[in-house]
A and B are shown apart, each in its own frame.
Chain A
């Protein structure tokens, strides 16, 4: 089963080594072949990695960015909304009054106001935004996190892609054509993002021992397992499958014995003041854990807060719950990364699947709107204190420097040192460019 003929539109074919699908996973034995593949493609480009890792702050449901980063104070009443704009610490840049803490870190971030696409439906829009490829029925594109797990060098004993959330019930954020080996590792215990932190006990599913099992107990059981497993070795020594599983077993033990990831979740090691600054709810503490994961060597992590789908009571929801929470946590994250000198090597992207209608509906809500939206990107060599692009007077569509999800993805991977034209192969061997429609946004690069 590992010697399939892989033919494709280019006729490219190669032996499907067992280890490819999984070795990159925790980066313990990423085979040379895989490295070679990615590198060979990246050669010829002279791009140097500016960033090493990414934190995606996902606003599930589609945030009303017109009431956040791209206000229209001069638009008619049915559009401009209830919020005032306030100045930030960057002269000339203003945004909504309910993001005051973010206004104090405006000099550390960029806001893209001309982001747009064409899909006003949650699931496919989420896929689009998190893959950098417009979804098609014929092919499942891998999420940016899965691509990072595949293409970036990884730290021994640390999962490259960790997600605090199951995007759209697991239909987004996954490995797509890269195969199950590049799916995210999930954090358990995050629960309700507004839950109180005291009840939280975060862990990455599948890479830590359950509480009731000590390392000693594991070693003892493993000894027994080894003697039961010996007989099978003679069976079929020549198959990658049997040998491969043995390798995985070794790797699994290494991971279980390593405490890098476990330590990342030990938030008690952080000063109480910093924990409070992040916000004592699950979202805030998750963001802090995300920073600690990045420090431990995780390449891509997704944290999320939901309820941005404000068809009703948009302004009340934003003002009372959504914006204060985001303002506190995101600004704390940016400031903390910056204070530690990690912002240069870490890209923070904060977005949802689409924006919301400039026109306010009869329920004081805003509906789905993909034709214009704003997002925050910071760090990793991107410009700071900068606004990219603009929308028209009523915020209906981009007015200058339009940007697509493909462009954004291409730019992020460019900063990670990966050429957006890099080709990967699907499970059937078809070569696919990372972001076929994506163009690096040169103006956004610092």
Chain B
């Protein structure tokens, strides 16, 4: 760095120590082998604040600071940090005459009491960097550390053999045109530290076959690569030829080949049938279905089964449940009165269900959520008639009319006003797979979003209003007055199930959030997209939607195909599914792109997307791993064993036992759990089961609420739950029907195996049953014990 250029922009604190600039430069050797002479505040000192954790949210980066010393969170504000170090605390933090006496060094090296402990040793390079900077005059060149680009020494996919290491080097290109090695100042984060680890100086060590994302962070910039650790192969190994059904297989198998992983065998008919039935319609195949499928000798029977299942009403119900999660169908947050909340939730669910059943294109569905209005272009008078019809149905029971309404205004109509920031977060997570919440208070640390991006996106929803539009005010007031006449004045209005008419409309006076720094008006803007100014009565959400559905939108199609993929494989190509960010690259970008392209080309045809996935050999692989792919967890070399959705657990248990659930006031008669819209259940037994199996309350804008990770209460539930065990005793359940029949015991056993594990028992299992039968002669007890044992197996409660 020519010092003449620097001098012109030098800003020193309090007083200028020009003399310091002429001091001989000391050379510091960094752990990456690079040498450093001139220490720059932004590039090196602030780089170290991040790297040594000084400016973390739990330390000096917290909004209150720590022990009187505050740094900007993650170092986005050099000006404040420079002032904090040089001016505050009577300048004791820096001593330019005796650099070693500076509190910055004394505390950082733990030489005096420091709550954060020693962040670096006295002999460390970090110590030298801080000391040299102080010795050289502790100057700050404004803007010197503004990074334009990070350049990595490795390509996007890096191969590193098991047991080997690899030194990454990182160069930063700065806005002044200069370039410098910054390897030692970067932060490295590896996603799966079982596969590989990375040292603070950028040395990657490969531990186990597989692949993992690696993010490199420096001064707010993020770059990510994938580390591939191939399976070691025996001498003479020849990768076998694996048949491919479609482009899914092509991309999955190409990546597996890079990893020397061979896909598992094709699943058996019973394995396939159980998996695809659980995945598509959320229940188990019946014994009759299993027998028929196994006996079917047509070569395309799997495709036929897939088509049949994708057309099944329960398939639409399953996706309605998933869309209810994604869009936040939280019953408690819907408009009062309470009794109607449950029915509104069901209407919300059924609205989605009708669309999935009719295979309405995805973009159309999203449009009708995102750009919903109450009136759908109707005149206030027409609309009131429709509303009366729906509310009348809701007051008596469930609404058949609401699902026919063009748009889902319930999404926006919550009892309490929702601030526009939350609409921004919800929409970004639901339809773009992007988590924005970090950027509410500070720049997103592992993505590009700033506070201004956050607010500009929120401002897209400033027009949204719930109440009475000027055009409909008169009609709404009249109708509400009419309804209030029916109220019994002696009773609590809220308990009389009379809903108040409110309208979702666009206000002519939108209140937007100002720019976080300048406090000036901030026009709405799509995430990383164009500014979409508010103009008159034009619905800016329509413009947002148009931006979303463009084929080159990086998020819209990708986030949905990723959700569908994650549903069928248990782990997303981007995982978690709503965390598309620079630091979290997809495990197979080519596959994600190909799926998205195919989805867009098909006109956002959800059923075709699902069929493509289900037909692939990849989906139909066995869950039994081989020696080459045993450790694979995100490259789809075999079917992954995975938990079921909480609703599916309830349905699968009922299917196995041959009983039906009684939902009473929680849902329309004849429904299965997967087809219930309400997130609040009066049936406490059912609510308990759903809670322990991780059904989300849908209160936050995050798919991560659904926690399917097993927990001990789930095991105890299947063993002891009184509500569940009572179903074992119902007169016409599977156990008692079988017990009453004249079927030989062996046949009864087969029936129970088919109804639970979707396969026939093996010899070992038959023998165990016979042994048990010797001591248990009561037919009902014997079959009850057998059923209990079966539903308590891991094979039963997991999908595989």
Binds B, one of A227-235, A259-267, A295-303, A403-411: A227-235
Inter-chain contact A181/B712, CB cutoff 8 Å: yes
Chain A residues within an 8 Å CB radius of B213: 5
* Known contacts A221-B785, A229-B793, A431-B57; A7 and B189 CB within 8 A of each other: yes
Inter-chain contact A4/B624, CB cutoff 8 Å: no
Inter-chain contact B712/A25, CB cutoff 8 Å: yes
Contact of B720 among A7, A170, A181, A210 (CB under 8 A): A210
* Known contacts A210-B720, A224-B786, A251-B712; A138 and B684 CB within 8 A of each other: no
The answer to whether the Cβ of B9 comes within 8 Å of any Cβ in the partner chain is no
Inter-chain contact A25/B711, CB cutoff 8 Å: yes
Q: Mark B548-585, 1 if CB is under 8 A from A, else 0.
A: 00000000000000000000001100011001010110
How distant is the Cα of A99 from the Cα of B217 in the complex, in angstroms?
62
In the complex formed, the residue of B with least CB distance to A239 is: B641
How distant is the Cα of A5 from the Cα of B576 in the complex, in angstroms?
7
Contact of A225 among B446, B642, B789 (CB under 8 A): B789
The answer to whether the Cβ of B435 comes within 8 Å of any Cβ in the partner chain is yes
The answer to whether the Cβ of B191 comes within 8 Å of any Cβ in the partner chain is yes
The answer to whether the Cβ of B192 comes within 8 Å of any Cβ in the partner chain is yes
The answer to whether the Cβ of B154 comes within 8 Å of any Cβ in the partner chain is no
Chain B residues within an 8 Å CB radius of A208: 720
Contact of A137 among B422, B694, B715, B785 (CB under 8 A): B422
In the complex formed, the residue of B with least CB distance to A18 is: B709
The answer to whether the Cβ of A22 comes within 8 Å of any Cβ in the partner chain is yes
* Known contacts A4-B575, A5-B575; A427 and B710 CB within 8 A of each other: no
How distant is the Cα of A7 from the Cα of B437 in the complex, in angstroms?
13
Chain B residues within an 8 Å CB radius of A241: 641-643, 710, 798
The answer to whether the Cβ of A130 comes within 8 Å of any Cβ in the partner chain is no
Inter-chain contact B189/A232, CB cutoff 8 Å: no
In the complex formed, the residue of B with least CB distance to A212 is: B725
Chain B residues within an 8 Å CB radius of A18: 709-710
Inter-chain contact A248/B712, CB cutoff 8 Å: yes
In the complex formed, the residue of B with least CB distance to A427 is: B704
Inter-chain contact B694/A180, CB cutoff 8 Å: yes
A24: min CB distance to chain B, Å: 10
Inter-chain contact B691/A11, CB cutoff 8 Å: no
The answer to whether the Cβ of A256 comes within 8 Å of any Cβ in the partner chain is yes
Inter-chain contact A427/B422, CB cutoff 8 Å: no
Inter-chain contact A220/B772, CB cutoff 8 Å: yes
The answer to whether the Cβ of B194 comes within 8 Å of any Cβ in the partner chain is yes
In the complex formed, the residue of A with least CB distance to B775 is: A220
Inter-chain contact A180/B765, CB cutoff 8 Å: no
The answer to whether the Cβ of A249 comes within 8 Å of any Cβ in the partner chain is yes
**In residues 77-134 of chain B, which contact A (Cβ within 8 Å)?**
115, 117
The answer to whether the Cβ of B788 comes within 8 Å of any Cβ in the partner chain is yes
How distant is the Cα of A433 from the Cα of B693 in the complex, in angstroms?
27
Number of A-B residue pairs, CB cutoff 8 Å, is: 245
How distant is the Cα of A21 from the Cα of B575 in the complex, in angstroms?
19
How distant is the Cα of A239 from the Cα of B629 in the complex, in angstroms?
12
How distant is the Cα of A16 from the Cα of B709 in the complex, in angstroms?
10
Chain A residues within an 8 Å CB radius of B716: 206-207, 252, 255-256
Chain B residues within an 8 Å CB radius of A210: 720, 722, 725
Inter-chain contact B687/A252, CB cutoff 8 Å: no
Chain B residues within an 8 Å CB radius of A433: 58
Chain A residues within an 8 Å CB radius of B438: 8-9, 430
In the complex formed, the residue of B with least CB distance to A23 is: B712
The answer to whether the Cβ of B173 comes within 8 Å of any Cβ in the partner chain is no
How distant is the Cα of A139 from the Cα of B700 in the complex, in angstroms?
6
**Quick one: which of A1, A232, A236, A256 has the most chain B CB within 10 A?**
A1
* Known contacts A3-B634, A9-B438; A169 and B680 CB within 8 A of each other: yes
How distant is the Cα of A207 from the Cα of B631 in the complex, in angstroms?
35
* Known contacts A44-B115, A252-B719; A239 and B712 CB within 8 A of each other: no
The answer to whether the Cβ of A238 comes within 8 Å of any Cβ in the partner chain is yes
How distant is the Cα of A220 from the Cα of B769 in the complex, in angstroms?
12
* Known contacts A5-B575, A15-B194; A22 and B583 CB within 8 A of each other: no
B77: min CB distance to chain A, Å: 16
Inter-chain contact A140/B688, CB cutoff 8 Å: no
The answer to whether the Cβ of A272 comes within 8 Å of any Cβ in the partner chain is no
Chain A residues within an 8 Å CB radius of B581: 7
A347: min CB distance to chain B, Å: 26
Chain A residues within an 8 Å CB radius of B598: none
Chain A residues within an 8 Å CB radius of B159: none
The answer to whether the Cβ of B721 comes within 8 Å of any Cβ in the partner chain is yes
* Known contacts A252-B719, A428-B435, A428-B704; A232 and B422 CB within 8 A of each other: no
Inter-chain contact A231/B762, CB cutoff 8 Å: yes
A69: min CB distance to chain B, Å: 30
The answer to whether the Cβ of B406 comes within 8 Å of any Cβ in the partner chain is no
The answer to whether the Cβ of B779 comes within 8 Å of any Cβ in the partner chain is no
* Known contacts A232-B794, A236-B641, A241-B641; A227 and B579 CB within 8 A of each other: no
Inter-chain contact A244/B710, CB cutoff 8 Å: yes
* Known contacts A5-B575, A209-B720, A224-B789; A138 and B437 CB within 8 A of each other: yes
Identify 24 residue pairs between A and B in the complex whose beta-carbon atoms are under 8 Å apart, listed by A's number: A3-B633, A7-B215, A7-B581, A9-B438, A9-B445, A15-B192, A18-B709, A22-B710, A140-B700, A179-B694, A181-B713, A186-B688, A205-B721, A205-B722, A206-B713, A210-B725, A228-B765, A229-B792, A246-B794, A248-B710, A252-B715, A421-B58, A427-B707, A428-B576
Beyond A205-B688, A252-B712, A427-B707: 13 further Cβ-contacts under 8 Å? A1-B642, A5-B192, A15-B192, A44-B115, A221-B789, A229-B793, A231-B765, A235-B623, A235-B624, A248-B714, A251-B715, A427-B705, A430-B438
Q: What residues make up the interface of A, taking CB atoms closer than 8 Å to B?
A: 1-5, 7-11, 13-16, 18, 21-23, 25-26, 44, 123, 137-140, 166, 169-171, 174, 179-181, 183, 185-186, 205-210, 212-213, 218, 220-225, 227-232, 234-239, 241-242, 244-246, 248-249, 251-252, 255-256, 421, 423, 427-428, 430-431, 433
Closest 6 CB pairs of A and B: A227-B768, A22-B711, A5-B191, A225-B789, A181-B711, A224-B789
